A = this chain, B = another copy of it.
Amino acid sequence: MKVMETELVKNLEPYAPGEQPQEAGFTKLNTNENPYPPAPEVVLAIQTLDANDMRKYPDPVCGKLRRILSEKHNVTPDWIFAGNGSDEVLRLIFQAYLAPGDVLGITDPTYSLYPVLARMFGAKVKIFDLGPEGELPRNPEISSCKIFALANPNPPYGVFYPLSEVEKLACSSPSTLFIIDEAYVDFARGDSLDIIHRCENALISRSFSKSFSLAGMRVGYTVGPSPLIRNLYKIKDSYNVNSASQAAACAALHAAEYYKEISRKIIEDRIFVTRELRKLGFKAYDSEGNFVFAESGDGKTLYEKLKAKKILVRYFDLPRLKKGVRITIGTHEEMLSLVETLRNLI
């Protein structure tokens, strides 16, 4: 007799890592990384990390980071939980609140991690189709959902939902944990922070990977009512965020001007690329993330043609998404080169 994994795990597929070209020379517009480096003081915080901070255990509850975040968001530190990337934070929320048979509600399309996490904990997935321009369905009934996960802006289209609409939906079912995933919010026109003070079932998820240019350091967090947050501390790994990452995130929060400037550049180039894509005949969704979804009818061919020209974009082999590709906003030079390449391809 052999050692058997649990039934839940048996039915999962192993994780397929994203495309990381080994050859040099690729322009990577496929993983929504920030094209600009982290702020100089962030790089310095890592590069001057004391050997004692490597040797000793990190702060298990990210005390300093949460203090700074609590001031930024005007809440008490017990309203904040920090994790090893927002992927860990989301997983812990799902683990704490989804039992086998529970229902996760998501939009289609959205961030592909949500259904993966639901299956990991034996939950079912209920899908709410977005409208033709990526808009939310009218009056969706979410009370059968234990969790509803809404990204805002919502990838891969990047549509930003009006905050009043988000709040109405979040408050429509007080027994549904309503996650507002704001990984891309710094590229958008607003945020939902006010909502968590009015809906005691809502949590906001944030990331340092996108606007803070720290994907390699893995820091994310969630903000919301402490009775919801409290359960995450029960199930987290003892020391989930390492010392270098805590130092980097703290330094990043003190470099607001730098980050405002690089976000401004990314937004400017997103507007530029969207316009140029439309001129070239693509359907380009109104995005408020650091990416644009462009439809030409055959996303796979477009992806392959661009790859042959050493530009990597993201193709999703899913019914709703196969018509197009998701393009990360890079530097202005990269966007000029992308537009020029597309012009020659079509």
On A, residues with C-beta under 8 Å from B are 1-9, 12-15, 17-18, 20, 28, 31, 33-34, 36-38, 42-43, 46-49, 51-61, 84-85, 87-88, 91, 95-99, 113, 120, 174-177, 200-201, 209, 213-218, 227-228, 230-231, 233-240, 242-245, 248
Give the residues in chain B near A51, CB-CB below 8 Å.
Answer: 37-38, 43
* Contact among B5, B238, B244 with A242 in the assembled complex (CB-CB below 8 Å): B244
Contact of A216 among B2, B18, B218, B243 (CB under 8 A): B243
Distance of A201 Cα from B5 Cα, bound (Å): 12
Q: Chain A contact residues: over half helix, strand or loop, or mixed?
A: loop
Given contacts A3-B175, A46-B46, 14 further A-B contacts (CB under 8 A): A5-B96, A6-B98, A12-B235, A13-B234, A15-B238, A38-B54, A46-B47, A54-B213, A55-B215, A56-B215, A58-B216, A58-B218, A84-B84, A215-B239
Given contacts A97-B5, A237-B91, A242-B218, contact A55 B34 (CB under 8 A): yes
Q: How far is the CB of A239 from chain B (nearest CB, A)?
A: 6
A175 touches B55 (CB 8 A): no
Q: Could you say how many copies of this chain the assembly holds?
A: 2
Cβ-defined contact, A57 with B177, below 8 A = no
